[in-house]
């Protein structure tokens, strides 16, 4: 009893001394998680610690700065103190027997006094209501995107639906639905292909939007256009915002998601946060998606979005569909329902592919769904898709297949004339990705896939949220109508190192357009002194990746600061900056 009293007195004395000396001692905060999750916070570092009681499973820690999973049951890490006002996100994920248990997305926010304040990440936005919520206008289409557009919005009070549109902000055309409703959706028809329109929406006496624009799809298959494709935007709203900004920066005509827009499709407050973040993309870029497992076949998903439908009908007719956009035939599938001959979706897929394959105006075929056929990520590939869908992709000359589900980027080699891409870096906590026999490139990174499509060439770039192009290729159609994939770059380029700034290891990527007898990669300090250099001999044209651990040529750790790095190849020379944080 006396010993316990002494311990209490000692603790009280420590806090009194710290108050007098203005020293902030660490404190502990218990947080909900798969088992017991504890966070220790002080002025200098934030430490995440948990105890895994389930000895048969693996625990993973994901951090939106470090992006490194830790497959151990007791772990802690110290992170540099961010600037005031910065929200630091982290996430714990537990796997056992192919089942998943996730903690909530957790966060810490730096206050004005430089002390970490805990934050409820889901409530970072004021939009937290669980009932109906207002939404600014957002675009999609249900029919021919060259001549139609669907404009939707929502008001908290029921009213009429009005869309004004025209070739400039004077509009001149009106479509109105007098029925009183909260969820508004108007389809504009008889539009001119490849035309920029202005529009605004109105619910009289309740809401009037500002002026927005949209562009109709090309009517001529030879007209080039740009497409953004990405997936898995759930959970981490700040990462989702960065991905959205990247999409806006490439100015696509159309954006398509591979699904898992939110963590739980049956929770309206998560949809409200999603729309709050995405509205300034959705108001001028038509958006479509496949349905993911986290949408959970929710009625809310089908209520919010207006997409093309499949002829099997029913209240889930938008679960899978297809459409033509310029010279491309797109097929969007529901990977929660995979089956062989006799499965309604599989039989519809074969008939749809047959029709597209016989259409001479269709130059490209792209398929989108959520669960990947091939993946080296934490979920892995789906053997049912490989068995039942992949043979159809091969038979009917599909060019690209996009999926998500694994929170990373992975591109396969050409598999029976088809390239499969996992694009799951849209905002969900990143997970590690390995390499398999089919893998051409893989990376755990938030990113967007950009496709520039012309009549005879499809240009592909994978772009991270700093604007760095970390993977690219072309598919070309020859005059004899044969297709071939070109992975080698057309010129020379030194890309920005990733990550940057970095602590630990960073990656340099460079491209050379023709064989080089000597390629030299050099790092200089700001005084121009060479601190690290590596040479490569007789490299053929291609894309190369070099890792650097922040040490000089003698293995000594360099001090924090800004350094310059240089690529020399044949007569090409390019410099870039990097920042090392030790």
The stretches of 323-454 forming alpha helices (DSSP H) are: 344-357, 383-388, 390-395
Cβ–Cβ contacts within 10 Å for residue 236, how many?
A: 26
Tell me the CATH number at 117: 2.60.40
User: What is the structure's pLDDT at 4?
Assistant: 57
Structure confidence by residue, pLDDT tens digits, 462-478: 999 998 888 888 898 87
Residues 273 and 334 in one domain: yes
User: What is the structure's pLDDT at 549?
Assistant: 92
The stretches of 169-297 forming alpha helices (DSSP H) are: 237-250, 268-282
Name the burial class of residue 578, with classes exposed (0-12), middle (13-18) and buried (19+) by CB atoms within 10 angstroms of its CB.
buried
- Measure CA 26 to chain center: 35
User: What is the structure's pLDDT at 129?
Assistant: 38
Residues 238 and 206 in one domain: no
Tell me the CATH number at 361: 3.60.21.10
Residues 418 and 437 in one domain: yes
Residue ending a domain, among 158, 193, 216, is: 216
Q: Tell me the Cα Rg of the chain.
A: 26
209 is a domain residue: yes
* Strand pairing class (364-368; 400-403): parallel
Residues 199 and 231 in one domain: no
Tell me the CATH number at 531: 2.60.40.4070
User: What is the structure's pLDDT at 287?
Assistant: 98
132 is a domain residue: no
Nearby residues of 523 by Cβ (< 8 Å), 6 or more positions away: 530, 531, 532, 533, 548, 563, 564, 565, 566, 578
Residue ending a domain, among 193, 216, 239, is: 216
Q: How far apart are the first and last CA of the chain?
A: 47
Joined together, the tokens standing for residue 341 give: 């001959």
Residues 273 and 155 in one domain: no
Residues 324 and 414 in one domain: yes
- Give the separation between CA 475 and CA 426, rounded to whole angstroms: 25
130 is a domain residue: no
Question: Which helix or strand (DSSP H or E) is residue 2 part of?
Answer: helix 2-20
Name the burial class of residue 401, with classes exposed (0-12), middle (13-18) and buried (19+) by CB atoms within 10 angstroms of its CB.
buried
Residue ending a domain, among 440, 463, 486, is: 486
138 is a domain residue: no
60 is a domain residue: yes
Residues 205 and 108 in one domain: no
Residues 291 and 440 in one domain: yes
Residues 362 and 227 in one domain: yes
The number of distinct structural domains making up the chain is: 4
* Strand pairing class (207-208; 225-230): unpaired
User: What is the structure's pLDDT at 206?
Assistant: 94
Residues 277 and 325 in one domain: yes
User: What is the structure's pLDDT at 336?
Assistant: 95
User: What is the structure's pLDDT at 487?
Assistant: 63
Cβ–Cβ contacts within 10 Å for residue 515, how many?
A: 12
User: What is the structure's pLDDT at 11?
Assistant: 52
Joined together, the tokens standing for residue 253 give: 């005509």
135 is a domain residue: no
Question: Which residue stretches of the chain have pLDDT < 50?
Answer: 14-130
Structure confidence by residue, pLDDT tens digits, 14-42: 444 444 333 333 322 233 333 333 333 33
Can you give the residue range of the structural domain that contains 32? 22-123
51 is a domain residue: yes
Residues 308 and 433 in one domain: yes
457 secondary structure, DSSP code? E
Tell me the CATH number at 176: 2.60.40.10
Residues 363 and 438 in one domain: yes
- Give the separation between CA 141 and CA 193, rounded to whole angstroms: 14
340 is a domain residue: yes
């Amino acid at each position: 009893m006396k010993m316990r009293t002494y311990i209490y007195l000692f603790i009280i004395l420590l806090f009194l001394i710290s108050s007098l000396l203005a020293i902030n001692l660490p404190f502990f905060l218990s947080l909900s998680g798969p088992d017991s999750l504890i966070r220790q916070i002080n002025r200098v570092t934030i430490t995440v610690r948990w105890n895994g009681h389930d000895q048969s499973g693996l625990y993973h820690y994901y951090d939106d700065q470090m992006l490194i999973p830790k497959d151990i049951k007791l772990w802690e890490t110290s992170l540099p103190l961010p600037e005031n006002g910065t929200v630091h996100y982290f996430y714990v994920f537990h796997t056992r027997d192919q089942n998943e248990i996730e903690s909530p997305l957790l966060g810490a926010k730096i206050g004005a006094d430089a002390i970490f304040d805990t934050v409820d990440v889901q409530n970072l936005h004021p939009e937290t209501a669980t009932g109906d919520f207002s939404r600014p206008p957002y675009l999609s289409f249900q029919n021919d995107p060259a001549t139609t557009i669907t404009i939707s919005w929502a008001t908290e009070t029921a009213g009429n639906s009005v869309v004004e549109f025209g070739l400039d902000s004077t509009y001149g055309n009106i479509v109105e639905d007098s029925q009183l409703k909260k969820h508004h959706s108007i389809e504009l028809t008889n539009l001119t292909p490849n035309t920029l329109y202005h529009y605004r929406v109105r619910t009289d006496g309740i809401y009037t939007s500002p002026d927005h624009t949209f562009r109709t799809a090309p009517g001529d298959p030879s007209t080039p256009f740009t497409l953004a494709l990405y997936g898995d935007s759930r959970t981490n709203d700040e990462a989702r915002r960065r991905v959205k900004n990247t999409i806006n920066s490439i100015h696509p005509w159309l954006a398509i998601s591979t699904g898992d827009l939110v963590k739980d499709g049956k929770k309206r407050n998560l949809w409200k946060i999603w729309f709050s973040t995405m509205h300034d993309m959705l108001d001028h870029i038509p958006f479509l998606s496949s349905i993911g497992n986290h949408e959970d076949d929710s009625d809310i998903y089908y209520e919010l979005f207006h997409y093309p439908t499949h002829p099997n009908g029913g209240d889930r007719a938008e679960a899978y569909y297809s459409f033509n956009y310029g010279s491309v035939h797109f097929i969007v599938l529901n990977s929660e329902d995979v089956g062989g001959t006799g499965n309604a979706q599989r039989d519809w897929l074969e008939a749809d592919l047959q029709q597209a394959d016989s259409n001479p105006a269709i130059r490209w075929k792209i398929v989108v769904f959520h669960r990947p056929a091939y993946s080296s990520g934490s979920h892995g590939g789906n053997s049912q898709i490989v068995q039942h869908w992949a043979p159809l992709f091969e038979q009917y000359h599909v060019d690209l297949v996009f999926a998500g589900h694994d929170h990373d980027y992975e591109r396969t080699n050409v598999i029976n004339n088809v390239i499969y891409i996992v694009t799951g870096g849209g905002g969900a906590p990143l997970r590690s990705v390995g390499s398999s026999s089919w893998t051409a490139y893989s990376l755990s990174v938030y990113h967007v896939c950009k496709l520039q499509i012309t009549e005879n060439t499809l240009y592909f770039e994978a772009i991270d949220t700093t604007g760095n192009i970390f993977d690219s290729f072309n598919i070309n159609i020859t005059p004899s109508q044969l297709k071939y994939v070109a992975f080698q770059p057309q010129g020379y380029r030194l890309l920005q190192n990733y990550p940057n700034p970095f602590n630990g290891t960073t990656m340099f990527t460079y491209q050379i357009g023709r064989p080089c007898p000597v390629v030299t990669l050099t790092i200089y300090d700001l005084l121009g002194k060479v601190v690290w250099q590596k040479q490569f001999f007789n490299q053929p044209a291609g894309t190369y990746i070099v890792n650097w651990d922040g040490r000089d040529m003698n293995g000594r750790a360099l001090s924090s600061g800004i350094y310059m790095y240089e690529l020399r190849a044949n007569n090409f020379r390019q410099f870039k900056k990097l920042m090392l944080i030790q």
